[in-house]
Amino acid sequence: MTGATQTEERQATAAPAIELRGISKAFGPVQANKDISISVKKGTIHGIIGENGAGKSTLMSILYGFYKADRGEILIDGKPTSIPDSQAAIAAGIGMVFQHFKLVENFTVLENVILGAEDGPLLRPSLAKARRSLTDLSREYELNVDPDAVIEQLSVGHQQRVEILKALYRQAEILILDEPTGVLTPAEADHLFRILDNLRKEGKTVILITHKLREIMEITDTVSVMRRGEMTATVKTAETSPEELAELMVGRKVLLRVDKKPATPGETVLSVKNLKVTDGQGVERLRGISLDIKAGEILGIAGVAGNGQSELMQVLGGQILNAKGEITLNGQPLALSGHSADGMARRAAGIAHVPEDRQREGLIMDFAAWENVAFGYHRDPAYQKGLLMDNAGLLRETEGKMERFDVRPPNPRLAAKNFSGGNQQKIVVAREIERNPDLLLVGQPTRGVDIGAIEFIHQEIVRLRDQGKAILLVSVELDEIMSLSDRVAVMFDGSIMGFRDPATADERELGLLMAGIEGEPDQPAWKAIEENMKAVEDGGTPPNG
Ligand code: ADP
Ligand code: MG
């Protein structure tokens, strides 16, 4: 590498790595990109942020040759470049890491990387030579990928690194990553950011698409904000703030931190003792969970997905009917098996449930919004009119709920599938919260939800807490757990690793607990976490657990 000043001088005079001028693209009546212009300097990380549907993926697909722009120009290193297909993109030095990887599962890393590269710039390299250059690249950028590993045996994080490796092997100078951290654990995301930093240091140009403000603030040099197909601003990351970016994304001021008073917990509402669940394969998913939640309190469960959080919610919500242990609600024991433990019985007992997977469990997609509002409560006397359901009453009630929860469009006759993800979630949250439950179970309340709606859903959960309800919150977003909860429990491998006060908890320690590690290890945290995750994936016992 040359000296820093020389590098800076070269960058100042060099043409931008990528320049887009006046790009527009419509899909039928939807104007996905409107007259978009950006310029990205070589050797920088440029973020593109925007809510779902803002047009980010469309713009990058145009740059990668998947879509043809209706209008506009692409310049690579200052030269007008036509990119009719992905071959042309690769030839222009552009690599793309997709949200859903395009790897052949039962091939090795090496095989995947050279697959289709033969007719590229590196005419049929020998396997030995290819393996060597993969090993070099892997070391240079801290990718830590074994060329001979089989894809299906790799973690999601490693598979993503194979995609990066593939792009680098094809001599990409510009790397585009579309929402890369959505599938990663916090430790894997940290590792990815180190890799991106290494790429930047080597003079590569990175475009990072995300809807997470924290990632933008952490790693990018410049950021462009998209809203409804338009590029609303491009700013230097060091000169902006999450609040400003949120406002640019949503078009109004957004409260990023949950505004809540300290909890004033009352009597114990939920008490769980030594809860155990074994799945159909005989694997113990819950290994003796004990917890209490008081009235007026939010207990948040932090953890990497798949460590028993879902099973805990499903036992409490009545979807798993073969648990062992003890549960009481307001001092009354709840059944753990059979009909009297099912969803209907749970609702009758005063438990409401916003399930993690709203598309599968929370809504019937082909049914209208008002029918979905009745769903799960259809035997409730409040919704009965003689032997029939009171449809007109339900329609009216749904209209009211849609208005209060700002569901758009506020049309109760529209099928659930025709609402955006955020509005679907608002329908489920409205239905459950308005039941006025003693205990609300909330799983991943804001997954795939726009930040404007996140703010609203969080406020509703806090409002319910302040009415003296008990709330059990499960989320893989540590930020969400930390800002919303009054107490945090960390789950790992079916057990609770510990309870912490979010006001005083150390996020690094929480990250370690999430990986099953107690106390202070003397190795770097990310390394211990990776080893543990790999061991768990392989079905063994974590070395640091
Ligand atoms: P983002 O990546 O910011 O979430 P997208 O670029 O995926 O947004 O989508 C922008 C808009 O274009 C959305 O309204 C989306 O529904 C629409 N859109 C994207 N791809 C297609 C397509 N292939 N056909 C029709 N509409 C599309
Ligand atoms: Mg997208």
Give the predicted TM-score (pTM) of the model. 0.70
In this structure, which long-range contacts are made by residues 115-118, counting pairs with CB atoms below 8 Å and at least 24 apart in sequence? Answer: 117/166, 117/169, 117/170
**Nearest ligand, CA 178:** 2
Q: Which CATH class is domain 258-350+437-514?
A: alpha beta
Instruction: Please give the distance, rounded to the nearest whole angstrom, from the Cα atom of residue 162 to the centre of ligand 2.
Output: 21
Count CB-CB contacts under 10 A for residue 456.
20
Instruction: Please give the distance, rounded to the nearest whole angstrom, from the Cα atom of residue 50 to the centre of ligand 1.
Output: 12
Q: pLDDT tens string for the chain (545 positions)?
A: 444 555 555 555 689 999 999 999 999 888 999 999 999 999 999 999 998 789 999 999 999 999 999 999 999 999 999 999 999 999 999 999 977 778 888 899 998 888 766 554 455 557 788 899 999 999 999 998 999 999 988 888 889 999 999 999 999 999 999 989 877 777 788 899 999 999 999 999 999 998 888 899 999 999 999 999 999 999 999 999 998 998 998 888 777 778 899 999 999 999 999 999 999 889 999 999 999 999 999 999 998 888 999 999 999 999 999 999 999 999 999 999 999 999 999 999 999 999 988 777 888 889 999 888 877 655 566 666 665 667 788 888 889 888 888 888 889 999 998 888 788 888 999 889 888 899 999 998 887 777 778 888 899 999 999 999 999 999 988 888 999 999 999 999 999 999 999 999 987 788 888 888 876 544 455 555 555 555 555 554 544 43
Nearest CA to ligand 1 atom 25: 27
- The residues spanned by each domain of the chain are 13-250, 258-350+437-514, 364-435
Instruction: Please give the distance, rounded to the nearest whole angstrom, from the Cα atom of residue 178 to the centre of ligand 2.
Output: 7
Record the tokens describing residue 83, joined without a space: 């990119």
Query: Phi, psi at residue 221, to the nearest 5°?
Result: -95, -40
**The domain 13-250: what is its CATH number?**
3.40.50.300
- For residues 315 and 491, the answer to whether their CB atoms sit within 8 Å is no
CA atoms within 13 A of residue 507's CA, in its CB half-sphere: 9
CA distance 470 to 176: 43
Instruction: Please check whether the two domains, 13-250 and 258-350+437-514, share a CATH topology.
Output: yes
> What is the number of residues in the chain?
545
Residues with CB under 6 A from ligand 1: 27, 30, 32, 50, 52-58
